[in-house]
Structure formats: structure tokens, C-alpha cells
Amino acid sequence: MDAIIRTIDPSRFERDRRDHDGRSDIPGIGQSETIIPQARVIALDEARRESERLLPPGATGSAGGAYKMLRTQVLRRLNQISANTLAVMSASSGEGKTLTAINLAIALAADLGHTALLVDLDLRNPSIHRRLGFEPEVGIEDCLQHRASIREAMVKITGYERLAVVPARSRVEHSSELLASQRMADLMVELRSRYGNRVLVFDLPPILLADDALAFSQHVETGLIVVAESITAREELTRSLVMLDKLPVIGTVLNRSQESADAYY
């Protein structure tokens, strides 16, 4: 497994194309047979964006270069195996996987040749909506339990033109069963096939704290593991890789590095 990129220490951060083509979220139903709900649009407050260390539109700012480097390497690896789905994971909690997933999705959407869909599958502790500063009306769990379509759960963020988000509303019991279900498999087929240039990024619970990541791994094509300097233990990373031995892990992201970014130049 190769190290992809060392991200900038978060403490040093400066703080779909319209995804609507007139098709149903249910395969086989055409434009004339259903009315597709418009994605909810939210505004991301600048103060919240800075406090949460999220990239601005276009993935600019002091950390934008690091995430664009990560994006380019991820796209290269995905293209090599003709994949468009990526699970962002970590061995344990507190290693920065959710922040990495959000900012990677923003960076992917900043690439003019791609759109990005960010999905919160950390059903044990969903947090993407809190970081973005809104309360979901519909969550991915509603889609998995046949209560809503994926379109009803989608959220767009003002200024982030090629990015869409599918949040989770709240903690869910039996989350791994939902992630391993046939409904999850059907949603993945739908999401993967809708647009050829869309990259799907999934935020998952820590690998060693629940079986959710392992349960979902059968549905996703690649994985990216986030490790944190002085936090992630080598044996925890090794155990995680052994558990996910069937999933192609395209690399790791080192978070909270003490090395100066200037050292690379």
C-alpha cells in the first residue's frame, strides 16, 4: 500500500453540473412517468466553513493544494481500474476521516471534468450535516429503508456547483445490516451508472469499532484509509488492512503531520 499524500495539519488551516437529468431514481421509470423532486439547496456560512476547516468552492485556500494533489492521485488510481466509488475510512476514531472525505469531495468537484457525490454512511455517528451546518429532512437511512428516493435526500451547497451531498439524519441501529442489504446494492448500481464522470465518496465508521465498513466493502470498488500521526497505531492499521483484504485500498492519507509543507519544495 502506497502513501498518497500528507495533508496539512488541520490546526494550520486557513480558515453537477446540476445533478438533475429528468430521470427517476427508480430504474426503468422515465422522465414522462414521474416527477423528480429538486435537491434541497443550503448555504454554507463562511464562519462555519472556517471553523470546520472545510475548503472553499474551487478547493482554494492554504490547504487547497494538498487536497488537489490527493484528488489527482485518487483520480489516477480510479481511472486505472475503471472505478468511480471510494470509501474513506480510518482504523479508529479521531483520525480525520470525515474532514478528509468532505474536502476530497470538494476538490473532486473542483475538477472541471468531474462531479462528486458525498454520502454519509457513518450511520453510527453521522456528522457531515453538522459540519455543513444544516439539519437533513431526509437521510440515506430513509432511502435504505424504502421511505424515500435518493433524490429526496440529496442536498446542494451554494457555490459548490458540481458537488452533491447525501447526509444521514441520525444514528441507526442495525446499521451494518442496512449497509450489507440488497437495497444498498441496488442504490450503488443506480448511483454508479447515472453519470459517467461522477465520483462517489462514502464516509464510513471506523473499521475496528464496528462491522459497518466490512459490511459495505462488498458494494464499493476502492478504499482510502486516513491515518493520524501520533494517533494511529501500526498494529491497528495492519488489522484494518487484513479485515479489508478483498477491497482494493488505493492508498493512505497522513493527517496531522508535524512536517512543514515547505519541506516538499
CA distance 242 to 220: 17
Question: What is the percentage of the chain residues whose pLDDT exceeds 70?
Answer: 83
CA distance 203 to 220: 12
Average pLDDT value over all residues in the chain: 86
pTM: 0.85
CA distance 111 to 115: 8
Question: What is the percentage of the chain residues whose pLDDT exceeds 90?
Answer: 77
- Of 21-30, 102-111, 229-238, where does mean pLDDT reach its minimum? 21-30
Residue 155: closest CA among 168, 141, 170: 168
- Within 8 A by CB and 6+ apart from 170, the residues are 126, 139, 141
Q: What is the mean pLDDT of residues 51-77?
A: 95
3-264 has CATH 3.40.50.300 classification: yes
**What does the domain layout of the chain look like in residue ranges?**
3-264
- Of 24-38, 54-68, 88-102, 108-122, where does mean pLDDT reach its minimum? 24-38
pLDDT of residue 263: 36
Q: What is the mean pLDDT of residues 233-262?
A: 86
Structure confidence by residue, pLDDT tens digits, 125-158: 999 999 999 999 999 999 999 999 999 999 999 9
Amino acid at 159: G
Question: Above 50 in pLDDT, residue 123?
Answer: yes
Q: For residue 88, what pLDDT band results from cuts at 50, 70 and 90?
A: very high
